[in-house]
Structure 1
Amino acid sequence: MTTNKISLTKPTERGLVTGLLRRIIEENGRLFLRQYAIAIVCLVLVAASTAFLAWIMRSVIDEIFVLQNRAAIVTLPIVVFLAFSVRGLATYGQGVILARIGNNIVARYQRRLFTHLLDLSVDFFGENRSAHLAARINQNVAGIRDTLNLTVTSIARDLLTLVFLVAVMVYQDPLLSLIALLAGPPIALMIAGLARKLRVATRQSIDLNARVLGSMQEAAQGIAVVKAFTMEKPLRERIEHLILAAEERSNRIAVITERTTPVTEVVAGIAIAGVIAYSGYRAIVYGYSPGAMFAFITALLLAYDPARRLAKLQVQLERALVNAQMIYEILDLEPNQSDPADAQCLVVERGEIVFEDVGFAYHANEPVLRDLNFTAPAGKTTALIGASGGGKSTIISLLQRFYDVEHGRITVDGQDIRNVTKRSLRSKIAYVPQAPYLFEGTIRDNIRLGRPDASDAEIEEAARLAQAEEFILAQHMGYDTPVGESGVSLSGGQRQRLSIARALVRDAPILLLDEATSALDTRSETLVQAALEQAMRNRTVLVVAHRLSTIVNADQILVIDGGEIVERGTHDELVGRPNGLYAHFYGLQTHDGRPGAEAIADAIRA
C-alpha cells in the first residue's frame, strides 16, 4: 500500500522558499487583486506621508524658529496635521482591508483542507493521528495569510517608507546618508544566518505543540477510561514532558528571533550617534542650517522603525512559510483510491456481490486476505464469521473501497468497483459499523445523515424499526435532543440503534452490518435483530458477527480463517459437521451440551 503519512520534522529547504512564495501569490493574489491594489495605495500614502513629515521639518525649523515667519505659524502646523490625518486614515484603511483578505484566506484554506481531507483515503487517517492532525492544521492554516500580508506590508509600506526617507536624507545631506547606510550590510548578513536556524526550530515547535494539543484532546475524549484505569499520573507525566519540550523549542525560537534586536540597536545607535555628532559639529563650526540637520535627523529616526521591521522580515517570513509549507504537504497528498478518468456511476439492479481471487495486505508481506472467492447472492444474507483478525471487517472495507485490492477484483452486478465512482458505489450501500459514531447535532440530524433529503416521517419510521423511538421520546427534547460530543450523553446500545436507524433511512440495496448488535444488551439485541430481519428483506446483506445466534437464519455463512474461506453453507449444514470450525464456535457459545470447561479447553487448543 502507498503510504500517506505526512512529514512532521522535515525542514523547509532554502531552494523551495521562492517556489512556495510564488505558489501562494499565484493561488491568492489574483483573487484579491482589487483589494490588494487599494491596500497598497493606502500603504504608499503611509510611506509618503511619513517621509513628508521628515522633509517638512526643515521648513518648520527654518521658517518658524530661525526666520520667525508669522504666516508659517499657521500654514505649517495645518500641513503637519493634514499629513498625520492622511497617514492615520491610510493606516486604518490598509489594516481593515488586509485583515479582511487574511480572514478570507484562512476561511478558504480551512474549507479547502476539510474538503481535501474528506477526499483522502481511510488509510491516511490510520497512519496519522486525528488529534495531532487537527492540532497541526489549526496552527498552520494562518501561515499563508501571514506570508501574503508580510510580503505586501513590507514592500508597500516599510520598503517604500525607507526608500522615501532615504531620499529625504540624501536630498538633505548625501555624505551623512552614506554614514547612516553603513549599518545595513552587517545586519543583513546576521539575519541570513539566523533564518537558517529558525526554519528547523519552527518546524520542531509546530510538531511539539500539535502533539501537546493532540494529547489533551485524546485525554478529554477518553476521560472515562483515564479515570477508570487511574491513568492521571502517567498521562500527566507524558504531557508534562511534551510541554517542557515545546516550551524549550519556543524559547529557542524567541532567542533566535530576538537576537536581531540588540545587534540592530547597537549598530543603528552607532550610526545615529555618529550622524548627530558630525552634523552638530558642522552646524557649530561651519554654520550649516539647523533646519536641514533637523530634517535629516528626523528622517533618520523615522527610517529606523521600517528598517528594523525589514531586518526582521526574513525571520518572520521563514516562520510563516514553514506553516504554509506544512499546509501544502497535506493539500498535495493524492488519495490512494482515486476515481479513474472514465469512471461510470454504479447501476444496481439486483445487488449481487462477487469477490474473485481477492488478495489484500495492510503491510507488505503480511497478507490479510489470500485469493478470496465468494458470491453474495442478490437479495440474500451472507454472514461472515471467524476469529478476530481473520479478515472479516477487511472484506467490508474493501467492498466500500476504503482500500483497493492488491490483486483480483470485486464486482457488484458484474461491474468492477474500481471502475465506478466511489460516490455512486457508497450511495448504494448502507453501513452499520461495530463502533457507532454520532456527530455534533441532534438525534434527528444524526439519523438524517444517512439520507439528507429524508423527511421527518421517514426518520421517525427508521427510528421505530431500529427500536430507538422509545428512548428518543424519553429524552428532554425528543428527536431534537443534542447528542453531545460523540454521543456521550447516550449509552452504547442507544448509539448503536441510532447508527442502525441511520442505515435504515438510507434505503440502499446493499446493507453491511459489522458487528451491528455488539453493543446491545440482550433485550435490545432481540428487538433490533427482529428489526434488522425486516430491513434485510429484498436487500443484499453482508453481516460480520461473533454472536452466532444473530446469523442462524442467514442464507449463506462463510467461515473466515487466516484470510481464507475454510467453510461455507447454511447454519444447519455447518453445525452438522462435528469437526468443523463453525460447529466448534457454535459449541463454545452454546456449550452444545458439552461442559463449559471442555469448551474452554477446546478454545485453548484451537
Structure 2
Amino acid sequence: MTKTTLSLSEPRQRGEALHLLRRVIAENGREHLAGYAVAALCLVVVALTTAFMAWVMRDVIDEIFVAGNRAMLFTLPFAIFFAFFLRGIASYGQGVILARIGNDVVARYQRRLFAHLTELSVDFFGETRSAQLAARINQNVSGIRDTLNLTVTSLARDLLTLIFLIFAMIWQDWALSLIALTAGPPIAIMISRLSRKLRKATRQSIDLNSRVLGSMQEAAQGIQVVKAFTMEKLLRARTDDLIEKAEERSNRIAIITERSGPITETVAGIAVAAVIAWSGYRSIVYGYSPGSMFAFITALLLAYDPARRLAKLQVQMERALVNAKMIYEILDEAPRQADAPDAKPLSVAGGEIRFDAVTFGYHAEEPVLRELSFTAPPGRTTALVGASGGGKSTIIALIERFYDTASGRILIDGTDIATVTKHSLRSAIAYVPQSPVLFEGSIRDNIRFGRPEASDAEVEDAARKAQAEEFILTQPLGYETPVGENGVTLSGGQRQRLSIARALLRDAPILLLDEATSALDTRSEVLVQRALETAMRDRTVIVVAHRLSTIVGADQILVVDRGRIAESGTHQELLTRPNGLYARLHGFQGGADASQTIETETLP
C-alpha cells in the first residue's frame, strides 16, 4: 500500500517541481535575460576551454614527448596558457554577473514579500507567529536565487562541459567511451531515490529552524518578562529541545545528501580503472598512440567534476525548490478583506457610524457580537464600556475593517464599508490602540506616520497637543532621538502620548480610541484628556474605556455585554438606573472616584 501511494505521488511531486521551476523562470528570466545571456556565454567559454585542455593533450604527448617537435614547444604551451587565461576571465565574469542577479532577485522578493504582507489581513497575523514568519522568510528567500543560479550554471557550464568532453572522448576512442559511460545510469537511479527522501527532510528542517529563530526572537523582545518571571530555565529547555530536533533533521539531510558520494566515487572509480586498464593493454599489445590514450583519460578525469555536480543537481534543486515553494505559499496567500471589484473611495461628510444587526466571531462557532445595532452620531463622542471580553475592541476592529462581519452591515454616512476601498476607509480614521506601537526611526518619524506629508511644525504641534513635547525635549536629540525597538527606551505613558500625537496629526473626521489613556499616570491622563477633548470637537469619536472617569462627558455611552448593547444613554441618564449595568460598573469603581479598572469578570 505504501509503495503504491509513493509511486502515485511521485509524478505529482515531479509535476509540482516543474511547475514551480517554470514559475520562477517566468517571473525572473525576462527581467535578467541579458545578464543571464552574458553569464551563459561566459560559462560556454569555461566549458570549451575545459574541453580544449583534454583535446590538446594528445598533441602535447605525441608532438613534444614522442616526436620531439621543437616547433610545438612554444605553440602548445602558449595555447594552454591562453585557454587558462580565457577560463579565468570567463569564470570571473559569470561569477560577478550571477551574484549581482542573485542579489537583485533576493532584494526584489524581499520587497515583494513585505508589500504582500502589508496587504494581508489582520487575521493572517493572528494565526501566524510573527517571529517564526520572519525567520522563515529569512531562510527561504534565497531559494528563488539558488533555483535560478543552479539552472543556469548546470545547463551552461556543467552540462555543456560534459557534452564537449564526451564528444572529445568519443572522437578519441568510441569503445573506451562506452566503458566510461556505463557509470551514468546507476548513479542517476541512486540520486533520484535520494532526492525523494530529501524533499520531506528539507521541509521539516526549515520549519524547525524557523521555530528556533522565532523562539530566540520572542525571548529577546520579551526579555523583561522573561527575567521578571524567572523563565530563563524553562525557555532554555524548550529552545534546547527545538535545537536538538533541528540538529537531528540537519544531520539527516547531511546523511542523505552525502550518501551519493561513496557510491558515485566507487562507480566512477570502477569506470576510470577499467578505461586505464583497457587503454594500457591496447597500447602495450597493439601499439596504440599514447597521446590519444592520455587525451582520452584527461577528458575522462576532467568530465568527472561536472558529471558529479550534475549528479547532485537534483538533490540541490530539491532543497532550493522547497525553499522557493515556501516563499510562494506566503505570496499566494490571498487577503481575506479584499476590496470589492467595484469598490469606490469613501467620501465622509458628517461621519455617522451605524452598526446594523452585526454578528461576528473570530471563530465561527463562538460569536463575539450578536445582532449588534447602534448609531454613533456624526460629530459626537460615543463611549463603549463593559466587562473585558464583551466585544468593545472588536467593534473598533470592525470599523477599521480589520475583519469582515459574518452578517449585518457597518455604514459610514449611509455607505456600507464593505463596498468602499480599504485605503479610503482607513484614511478617514485616526486610531489609537490600547498598546502603543512605535517603529524604527526617530520620535519625529513616528509621529509623522500619521500624515507623511505633514511639516515639522505640524508634527511638533501634534506633540504639544498630546502633552508629549515636555518629555521629547528632554531626550538627547529631541525630536530626532531614535526610539529603539518598539520604543523600548521610553516609558509606557510616553509611548502612548506619541501614539496619540500620531492620531492627532492625521486630522481625520473619525477618531477611534481603544483605551487611549490606559498607560498614563494621573497627571498625564488629565493633560491628555484635555488635549483629546479639543481634538474630538467636530469629529465622530468612538472611545473604548474601562475607567469611567474618562468618558463622563461623552455624548452617548453604550454598555456592551456579551456581544449586545445592554444600555445606552448619557452618564447621568445611566446612573438613574440603580440596577443597571452601568450603575453597577460605576459602583465597582468607587462611585465618583472612578479610578480603578474593571476586572475581566463577566458582569452579573
TM-score normalized with structure 2 length: 0.97
Pair 185,335 (structure 1): closer, same or farther in 2 beyond 3 Å: same
Tell me which amino acid in the other structure corresponds to 1:173.
Answer: D
Question: Any idea what SS the aligned residue of 2:565 has?
Answer: strand
Pair 454,246 (structure 1): closer, same or farther in 2 beyond 3 Å: same
Question: Any idea what SS the aligned residue of 1:367 has?
Answer: coil
Cα displacement (A) at 1:41: 0.7
Deviations 1:276-319 (A, max 9, x none): 11111111111111100000000000000000000000000000
The equivalent residue for 1:558 is 558
Correspondence 1:134-145 to 2 at 5 A: 134-145=134-145
For 1:38 and 1:248, how far apart are their aligned partners in 2? Answer: 41
**C-alpha root-mean-square deviation of aligned residues, in Å?**
1.7
Correspondence 1:116-265 to 2 at 5 A: 116-265=116-265
For 1:101 and 1:243, how far apart are their aligned partners in 2? Answer: 33
Cα displacement (A) at 1:93: 0.7
Correspondence 1:49-448 to 2 at 5 A: 49-448=49-448
For 1:435 and 1:88, how far apart are their aligned partners in 2? Answer: 59
For 1:198 and 1:605, how far apart are their aligned partners in 2? Answer: 56
The equivalent residue for 2:516 is 516
Tell me which amino acid in the other structure corresponds to 2:534.
Answer: Q
Question: Any idea what SS the aligned residue of 1:70 has?
Answer: coil
Cα displacement (A) at 1:604: 8.7
Deviations 1:22-52 (A, max 9, x none): 1111111111111111111111110011001
> Identity of counterpart residues, as a percentage?
73
The equivalent residue for 1:480 is 480
Tell me which amino acid in the other structure corresponds to 1:19.
Answer: H
Cα displacement (A) at 1:207: 0.2
Cα displacement (A) at 1:111: 0.4
Cα displacement (A) at 1:15: 2.6
Pair 593,91 (structure 1): closer, same or farther in 2 beyond 3 Å: closer
Question: Any idea what SS the aligned residue of 2:372 has?
Answer: strand
Tell me which amino acid in the other structure corresponds to 1:500.
Answer: I
For 1:15 and 1:286, how far apart are their aligned partners in 2? Answer: 52
Pair 600,395 (structure 1): closer, same or farther in 2 beyond 3 Å: closer
For 1:14 and 1:566, how far apart are their aligned partners in 2? Answer: 59
Deviations 1:556-602 (A, max 9, x none): 000000000000000000011100000000111124699x9xx999x
For 2:285 and 2:120, how far apart are their aligned partners in 1? Answer: 76
Cα displacement (A) at 1:605: 8.2
The equivalent residue for 1:5 is none
Q: Where in structure 1 do 4 or more consecutive aligned residues deviate above 3 Å? A: 591-594
Contact 2:444 2:479 in 1 (8 A): yes
For 2:537 and 2:280, how far apart are their aligned partners in 1? Answer: 100
Question: Any idea what SS the aligned residue of 1:366 has?
Answer: coil
The equivalent residue for 2:455 is 455
For 1:584 and 1:14, how far apart are their aligned partners in 2? Answer: 67
For 2:56 and 2:174, how far apart are their aligned partners in 1? Answer: 18
Cα displacement (A) at 1:14: 3.0
For 2:17 and 2:592, how far apart are their aligned partners in 1? Answer: 71
Tell me which amino acid in the other structure corresponds to 2:13.
Answer: E
Tell me which amino acid in the other structure corresponds to 1:176.
Answer: L
Deviations 1:465-515 (A, max 9, x none): 000000000001000000000100000000000000000000000000000
Contact 2:581 2:603 in 1 (8 A): no
For 2:24 and 2:509, how far apart are their aligned partners in 1? Answer: 45
For 1:476 and 1:323, how far apart are their aligned partners in 2? Answer: 44
For 2:493 and 2:170, how far apart are their aligned partners in 1? Answer: 81
Question: Any idea what SS the aligned residue of 2:558 has?
Answer: strand
The equivalent residue for 2:466 is 466
Cα displacement (A) at 1:365: 1.4
The equivalent residue for 1:14 is 14
Moved more, 582-591 or 453-462: 582-591
Pair 33,60 (structure 1): closer, same or farther in 2 beyond 3 Å: same
Would you say how many aligned residue pairs link Structure 1 and Structure 2?
593
For 1:330 and 1:605, how far apart are their aligned partners in 2? Answer: 42
Tell me which amino acid in the other structure corresponds to 2:30.
Answer: R
Question: Any idea what SS the aligned residue of 2:216 has?
Answer: helix
Correspondence 1:27-66 to 2 at 5 A: 27-66=27-66
Contact 2:387 2:598 in 1 (8 A): no
The equivalent residue for 1:502 is 502
For 2:510 and 2:592, how far apart are their aligned partners in 1? Answer: 33
Contact 2:166 2:299 in 1 (8 A): yes
For 1:292 and 1:558, how far apart are their aligned partners in 2? Answer: 97
For 1:22 and 1:373, how far apart are their aligned partners in 2? Answer: 51
